[in-house]
Amino acid sequence: MLNIINRIRGIGILSEALPGSDTDEPRLRDIHERLHRVFGRALRIRHVDAGSCNGCELEIQALTNPYYNLEGMGIAFVASPRHADILLVTGPVSVNMEEALKRAYQAMPHPKWVVAVGDCGACGGIFGTGYASRGPVSSVVPVDASVQGCPPSPLSLLEGLLHVTRQPAQHGS
C-alpha cells in the first residue's frame, strides 16, 4: 500500500503539468477551460463502435488518461445511451451494426448530439460503402459534427466535443 502512495506522490498530477511542445500545452489548457465553461461538470458520452478498426477507440480511451483527464473535467463515458448527452460514433457503419446504432440513438433522451469520429465515421474512409458497409455515420443517424483523422488525436477529439456542444442540438428538443 505504501509503495502505491509513494508512487502517486512521486509522480504528482500529470494533467496540470503537461509535457510536449510549447504550443500544445496552452492549447490543451484552453480547451479544458472552455469545455468546463460550457458544460460545468455534467456532460455524459456514450461511445458506439459501429464498425471501426479499433484505432479510434484507442484515442478515445486516451482521453481518460492522466494527461487529458477528461473525467477531471466532469465529462464521463456512460454505459447506457439513456444516460448520454452525446453519441460518439466510430467506424464506417457496418451493415451488421446498423440496427444497433439506430437503437442506441433512439434510446437517448433529448436534447442529444451525435459526433462522428475518424475519417471513416466522417466520410466512410478507406472502407467506403459496399455490400457490408454503409459508409459515413450520417448515412444512418443524423450527425452534428465530425472529427476527422485516422485516428484523430485526443486533442482533435476534445476540440470536436467542444464544437458540437456549443451549437444547439439540431436533432434534439
Q: Which of 27, 57, 102, 163 binds another protein (CB under 8 A)?
A: 57
**Residue selected from 40, 130, 142, 168 as contacting another protein according to rule CB under 8 A:** 130
Mask: binding to another protein, 71-90, rule CB under 8 A, as x and -?
------x-x-----------
The grid coordinates of residue 30 equal 484552453
> Does 133 contact another protein by CB under 8 A?
yes
**Does 99 sit near another protein (CB under 8 A)?**
yes
38 binds another protein (CB under 8 A): no
Beta strands in 29-130 (DSSP E): 43-49, 75-77, 86-90, 113-117
Q: Shortest distance, CB of residue 163 to another protein, whole angstroms? A: 20
- As beta bridge partners, residue 48 has 89
| Contact flag: residue 116 with another protein (CB under 8 A) | no
The closest of 132, 48, 136, 120 to 95, measured between CA atoms, is 132
Per the CB < 8 A criterion, the answer to whether 160 and 146 are in contact is yes
Chain centroid to Cα 40, Å, comes to: 17
Under rule CB under 8 A, residue 4 binds another protein: yes
Radius of gyration from C-alpha coordinates of the chain: 17
By CB under 8 A, is residue 9 in contact with another protein? no
| DSSP structure class, residue 143 | -
Q: Does 105 bind another protein (CB under 8 A)?
A: no
Question: Measured between alpha carbons, how far is 34 from 166 in angstroms, rounded to an integer?
Answer: 10
Distance in Å, CB of 113 to another protein, minimum: 17
Is 8 in contact with 18 (CB distance < 8 Å)?
no
Point out which residues bind another protein (CB under 8 A).
Answer: 3-4, 7-8, 11, 14, 19-20, 47-62, 64-67, 77, 79, 91-92, 94-100, 104, 125-134, 150-151, 153
